[in-house]
Structure 1
Amino acid sequence: MIPPPSARPFLDQAGWAGAEILPLAGDASFRRYFRVVEGDRRAILMDAPPPHEDPRPFISVGEWLCESGFAAPAILARDLTQGLVLLEDFGDARVREHLDAAPAEEMAIYTRAVDLLVDLHEQPAQSGLAPYDRAVYQREAALLTEWFAPAAGLAVDASGYTTAWDKVLPIAEQDVAPVVTVLRDYHAENIMLLPDHARSHGLGLLDFQDALAGHPAYDLVSLLQDARRDVSPAVEQAMLAHYQTRAKASPDFEAAYAVLGAQRNAKIIGIFTRLWKRDGKPRYLDFLPRMWGLLERDLAHPALAPVADWFAENVPASARGQLDAGQSAQ
């Protein structure tokens, strides 16, 4: 976590000459983050190096969120050629760590997070966002057959998998829910506690550069079926009901929620396997048992019967869980 050589001149030009640059935890992408400290001032430096990363979508969505009344980090300086962006620092009070220390607040904080989604979904989708459509759903779901299946030593019916999804995805596509801005990674590790931001329910948003225009259930699934944190089934059901009441959701909303939950969880199983096999990051395998548990809960919904049948025929129960990290990542 050494800053790129371009970081110092970038900060000097941005008015942060002499500031200390401290590493922060990265994520599953090529992006890296650093805290910039100068006296009482704090900022976050995003290193999104081209050609692997492009910070422009993050900037565009972040500015739209702020204009719409939500709390996204303000852009303090940018150098798109170098892939450097200086951001407002939201501090260290992430929802994940807060709830680890104060689990009794889970219901209250998740209620605020769901209320934020309701407010977000009352806005028309950001202009210019690409659609979260059938092609994207299928491409993402296929990550399971492309990466997990061979890693688990399974010879599966990939074309039958696509056909099964084609039978269930119309449930989400034909729902009368509005097309909204889908942040796509809305969960406890990307939500900050910001008491001074009352308009956004005291919550700050991170990691939204992959936003698309799609179904409102997707971000609700991302929040309540968290890949990195166990959300109790009681909280999930209460928050699903709370969202439906506040948003006046359609009768098909719960079926769409299950379909998009299964699609997202299948995708993440594939992504986490790829992070191990291709990128040499075996720690992501630790999340697979949780992901399979979430996927099986979604597959139990009657709307998912064709996909559930495919899994029953192609992925035995013994293969649904942890992979052997001792295998060579390649």
Structure 2
Amino acid sequence: MTNNKERQTYIEQFLVGFFNGEAYRCEVVTADASFRRYLRVYHGKKSYILMDSEPNKVDNQPFVDLNANFALAGIKVPQILAQNMPHGILLLEDLGAEHLADHISGPSRLKHYMAILDILPSIATVTKSTSMKPYDDGFITQELEIFENWLLNSWLDYELNGTVKERWQEMKLSLVNSIVEQPKATMHRDFHSRNIMRYDHQWAVIDYQDAVQGPITYDAVSLLRDCYFKLPADDFLILQKYSYKTLKKAQLLGEMTYLEYQYYFDLTGLQRHLKAAGIFARLLLRDNKAGYLDNIVPTLQYVVEVAKRYDNYQWLATWLVSEIIPLINSQLNKFK
């Protein structure tokens, strides 16, 4: 493993070379939910974003490949200006600091969301990259098991057993089936208010390196049932219907009716939100990142709301409300 001093040396050598020895300065922007770290680099009147990720922890090739594929599809992404792949360093165009998250409480919220939903057909038709992992039965199941392994077993010390275990296994199969039977498209896979930026009067996307080809409803679910912001009910219904019309007009839904779309949207959301809640626990336990803990219960509330609507999943809502969410709240109280 590379130590911090060595990484700093690599970064300095990289930037000295890029700027031909001229003065620059750096400030930490943020570390995201992965092993990446971001710095804003100032040189003269210009600024850049340096992405720092140790190659023994992060494979940066998917980011590079998908950056090109997204750009070719007409989607605004940060331009890669320089790179040192052996050391996991990339210098990117600086898209500023204005996110969709900064606009979600304003009077133009619906207009902004509709403009972003208009991007979905372009993302859906991004050329498949060789870096994309197959989003198949095994991978979808593995994502659901993040919830079981990290949130239930590791964080809550809770073991599935008896009837709940049987229903959990049946649910996994059901959710996998509902995902794999949908029309396939390229999906950003983390398309939410923190990964969509406003730059030069247009919407841009970041953090697309985990894109795969999978269920057509996935990115719409990510955006409209955001783990970090809950849309008002009326706005949600307007935007869900708009997302259907947008994808239907682009001929990406086949013969799917709006009722079928809502069904697939709901079940895809169940899978995504269970996975996300598990990831938030994993970030604490594996990566010592506690900043996502407050998002666990709101994320699971989406699961509860949806599960209540379907006979096959009402047990899930009852189980989460009566057993799991109280255990989570008890754990969260330790951080207060």
With the length of structure 1 as denominator, give the TM-score of the two structures: 0.88
How many Å separate the matches in 2 of 1:323 and 1:143? 20
Paired position in structure 1 for 2:43: 38
* Residue 287 (structure 1) aligned with residue 295 (structure 2): yes
User: Which runs of structure 2 are paired with 1:246-325 in the superposition (5 Å)?
Assistant: 246-248=246-248, 249=253, 250-251=256-257, 252-302=260-310, 305-310=311-316, 312=318, 314-320=319-325, 322-325=329-332
What is the letter of the counterpart of residue 197 of structure 2? M
The residue that corresponds to 1:126 in the other structure is 128
**Match of 1:88?**
93
Question: Which residue of the other structure, out of 179, 184, 204, is the alignment partner of 2:189?
Answer: 184
SS of the residue aligned with 1:192?
Answer: strand
Shift of residue 310, structure 1, vs aligned partner: 4.7
Aligned length: 315
- Please give the alpha-carbon distance, in whole angstroms, between the structure 2 residues aligned to 1:327 and 1:246: 45
Aligned to 1:199: none
Residue 55 (structure 1) aligns with: 60
Alignment equivalent of 1:73, drawn from 75, 78, 87: 78
TM-score for the superposition, normalised by structure 2: 0.87
Q: Does 1:226 align with 2:226?
A: yes
Q: Which has the higher contact order (CA 8 A, sep 6+)?
A: 1
Question: Are the structure 2 counterparts of residues 11 and 223 from structure 1 closer, same or farther at C-alpha, using a change threshold of 3 Å?
Answer: same
CA 1:189 to 1:168, structure 2 compared with 1: closer, same or farther past 3 Å? closer
Q: Deviations over 1:153-184 (max 9, x none)?
A: 43313464233221243223223x2x211111
In structure 1, C-alpha distance between the alignment counterparts of 2:176 and 2:156, rounded to whole Å:
26
Could you say what the CA RMSD is over the residues aligned between the two structures, in angstroms? 2.2
CA displacement 1:218-273 (0-9 Å, x = unmatched) = 11111111111222222221111001112214122211111110001001111111
Q: Does the 8 A contact of 2:273 with 2:300 survive in 1?
A: yes
Question: How big is the shift at 1:318?
Answer: 4.7
- Counterpart position of 2:14: 10
Matched to 2:75, the amino acid is F
Residue 148 of structure 1 pairs with residue 137 of structure 2: no
Q: Distance in 1 between matches of 2:61 and 2:94?
A: 19
Q: Aligned AA for 2:198?
A: L
What is the deviation of 1:125? 4.3
**Structure 1 residue 327: Cα displacement:** 5.4
**Residues 70-111 of structure 1 deviation map (CA, whole Å, 9 limit, x = unaligned):** 1011110000111000001101111112335xx212111111
Structure 2 stretches lacking a partner, 5+ long: none
CA distance, structure 1, for counterparts of residue 159 and residue 123 of structure 2:
42
Aligned mates of 2:211, 2:86 — CA distance in 1: 22
**Displacement of 1:55 after TM fit?**
1.4
Distance 2:147 2:12 in 1: 41
| CA distance 1:65–1:44, shift in 2 (3 Å) | same
How far apart in 2 are the matches of 1:156 and 1:92?
43
Contiguous gaps of at least 5 residues in structure 1: 197-201
Q: 1:295 to 1:16 in 2, by over 3 A?
A: farther
Asked if the contact 1:110–1:239 (Cα under 8 Å) also holds between the matched residues in 2, the reply is yes
